[in-house]
Amino acid sequence: MNRRTPRFAGLPLVPGVFAVSWAAILIRACSAPPTVIAFFRMFFAAVLLLPLAIWVYRASFGEFSKRLFLLTAVAGFFLGWHFFFWIASLSHTSIASSVVLVTTQPVFVAILAVALLKESIGIRGVLSIIVAMLGSTLIAGFDFSLKKEYFWGDILALAGAVMAGSYLFIGRVVRPRLRVFPYIFTVYGIAAVTLGLILLVTGEHRADFAPVNYAYFLLLAVGPTLIGHTLYNYTLKHVPAHKVGL
C-alpha cells in the first residue's frame, strides 16, 4: 500500500510528542498501583469524550463497518496492554530506559507495514531502526549489569513497545477510512475496558491511594492521551505508522 505523504502532514506530531512526553513524569508522581494509573488514564479520556460522542453519534459513528469496528476494537485492546506493560515498567527501571525502550515501537510497526501493507521504509528508515535496536540493546545491557531488577523493567517496556507498534499499525489501516473522532473514542473506550478487566484480575482495584492521584489521572487523560495520542492518530491518516512511531 503506497500513499504519498502530504507536505507538512507530520506537523501535528510536534505538539503530540510534547504532550506525550509528560506521561512518564506524571506517572512517577502517582502513588497508585500501575494498573490503576493505566485504567483511570483511559477511563477519564473516554469519559471526557463521551458528551461529544453523543452529540456527533449519527454523523460520525455511521462510518463504521463491521470490519472497521473490529479492527478499531483490536487497536484499543493493544493500547490497553501497551499502557499496562509500560506503566508497570516505570516501577522497575529508570524513566529514561523505560521511555527509550518503549519507543522502539517503529521496529515492530515497520515489520508489519512492510509485510502486510507493502509500505516502503527506505534506507533512512532502515538506518533509524538499526540505531534504535542498537540503543535498546545497550540500555538493557547496562541496566542488567547495574541492577538485576532493572532488566525486568526493560522487558516490560519492550512488551509495551510491541503493543504500541501493533496499535499504531492498525491505526494506519483504519484511519484513512474513518474520521479521527469515532476512532479515538472507540480505541480509548476499549482500552479502558481492557484495563478494567486486568484490574479485576490482578486485584489492584482494592488498593488504597491518596486522592491527589485523581488529579494526576486527569492530567494524564487530558495531556498525553487526548492531546498527544489523538494527534498521533490524526496524523496516521497521512503519515506511515513507522514515521509516527519514530
Number of domains in the chain: 1
Query: Is 3 among the domain residues?
Result: no
> What one-character-per-residue DSSP string does 179-241 give?
-HHHHHHHHHHHHHHHHHHHHHHHTGGG----TTHHHHHHHHIIIIIIIIIHHHHHHTTTS-H
Q: Looking at residue 2, what is its pLDDT?
A: 45
Query: Is 65 among the domain residues?
Result: yes
Q: How far is CA 194 from CA 23, 111, 149, 166, 233, in A?
A: 20, 25, 27, 16, 19
Query: Is 219 among the domain residues?
Result: yes
Query: Is 58 among the domain residues?
Result: yes
Tell me the whole-structure pTM to 2 decimals: 0.85
Length of the chain: 246
Query: Is 8 among the domain residues?
Result: no
Mean pLDDT by 10 residues, the chain (246 residues): 64 93 89 93 96 75 89 97 91 78 81 76 80 71 63 88 92 91 94 96 88 96 96 92 80
Domain that holds residue 168: 13-245
Q: Looking at residue 1, what is its pLDDT?
A: 45
Query: Is 4 among the domain residues?
Result: no
Contact 97, 150 (CB under 8 A): yes
Query: Is 7 among the domain residues?
Result: no
Contact 160, 102 (CB under 8 A): yes
Query: Is 160 among the domain residues?
Result: yes
C-alpha cell at 93: 527501571
